[in-house]
Chains A and B, each alone.
Chain A
């Protein structure tokens, strides 16, 4: 009886606090999940590769604190950008010189395709058979003799 009352009371308290309070302490992401998508801005390498640098350790501590607060990966990245600037993100921004990261491979692929197309077209043209040169008709006497020879073979 007493156990049932306690359970009902706990349920009431949980309902009163709402689902947000119950979920707040539940981590939505992990340090490992975030640290391979952000940079140690001082070291210039991804954070998961910077083990010893004091700046990396502080950044890791900041992320761990935000994870413990139940923030999502996106929210944590927002805090990191506000703290360290946009360079903290591993993927370059789609602006300025950094745009070259996205544009150069596309341009290189297009240029390569164009060069290949030209080379293939040229190779095909080289391989095509030469048109047969017109042969002058045989003189009537030779033609007759050829027909006779062929008829003899056929026979």
Chain B
């Protein structure tokens, strides 16, 4: 009985180390449950909708839940990201169209210096609200691993579509059409 104590302790120690490594790897891995749900035709609730983030222009904070009742195009970007520059004009044009249809683009600036981000918004004439995701908690909730990434949230606060790379106007028109029907 006592002879088995040492091997048992060593095995338990090894198992604990392996469990810790597995937990660590799992905790750091991106969450793809949102992609799977949307691909299956479900509309999962928008993650971290209550998380309040500071506005890039310094005017208070904003949460996705504040926009309930509107269609939201949630776009993660950064000023150093080249594809973000390429899609910025399409997003701004979409914002102008959405403004008349109870919708908005909400930019989420991630891993970016504030002066660079402000310069970016001035350079591309961005009029939609932009918040700063310092620490990347919102990005993590959406499983963001690269930039840009875009999530379309319906009026009920559910994710209707997503794109893990840059978007163009054709994609935005296609996913927004059923969510923003023209007034009868």
Contacts and interface: CB of A to CB of B under 8 A. Distances in A.
B145 to A, nearest CB: 10
A83 interface: yes
Contacts of B79: 58
Main SS at interface, chain A? helix
A55 interface: yes
16 contacts: A41-B111, A62-B116, A82-B134, A83-B113, A84-B134, A84-B135, A87-B136, A97-B23, A100-B20, A104-B17, A104-B20, A108-B13, A111-B9, A111-B13, A115-B6, A118-B5
Interface string A15-26: 000000000000
Contact of A115 (B9, B20, B23): B9
Given A55-B80, A97-B24, A83 B9 contact: no
Interface in A51-80: 54-55, 57-59, 62
Nearest to A62: B113
Contacts of B116: 58, 62
Nearest to A40: B111
A23 to B, nearest CB: 25
B112 interface: yes
A85 B136 contact: yes
A114 interface: yes
A58 B80 contact: yes
B169 interface: no
A54 B80 contact: yes
B22 interface: no
A111 B12 CA distance: 10
A86 B136 CA distance: 10
B20 A86 contact: no
A86 B81 contact: no
Contact of B114 (A83, A108, A114, A119): A83
Interface in B1-53: 5-6, 9-10, 13, 17, 20, 23-24, 27
Contacts of A54: 80-82
